[in-house]
Homo-oligomer: A and B are copies of this chain.
Amino acid sequence: MLAKIHVTLKNGVLDSQGKAVHHALNDLGYSEVQDVHLGKYMEIALKGISEKEAQTRVKEMCEKLLANTVIESYRFTLEPAE
C-alpha cells in the first residue's frame, strides 16, 4: 500500500520560504504569480497491513513525526501498491 501525504503550513503561519519563492518568481518576470505556498510531499510504502490499519497508523505517523501539528496540517490518501 502506498500512502501519499501532504504537509502544509496552517493558515496564518508565516510562510517565509513561500514568500522567497514568490519574490523570486516576480523578479524573473512572472508577474501573474499572486501567492505561493510551500509544503512537503511524502510517499510511504507500507507492507503487510490492511487499509483500515494503514488509515490509523499513517495518521499516527503524521501526528508523531511527519507534521508539526502546532503549525502544520496534513492530509493523506492510501492507494494499492503498484
Q: Report copies per complex.
A: 2
A65-B34 contact, Cβ under 8 Å, with A40-B40, A41-B6, A41-B39: no
Contact residues of A between 8 and 63, Cβ < 8 Å to B: 8, 18, 21, 24-25, 28, 30, 32-49, 54, 57, 61
Chain A residues bordering chain B, tally (CB within 8 A): 33
Can you offer 18 A-B residue contacts whose CB atoms are under 8 A? A6-B41, A8-B43, A24-B65, A25-B65, A28-B61, A28-B64, A32-B47, A32-B57, A34-B46, A34-B47, A35-B44, A36-B45, A37-B43, A37-B44, A38-B41, A39-B40, A39-B42, A41-B41
Which A residues have a C-beta under 8 Å from some C-beta of B?
6-8, 18, 21, 24-25, 28, 30, 32-49, 54, 57, 61, 64-66
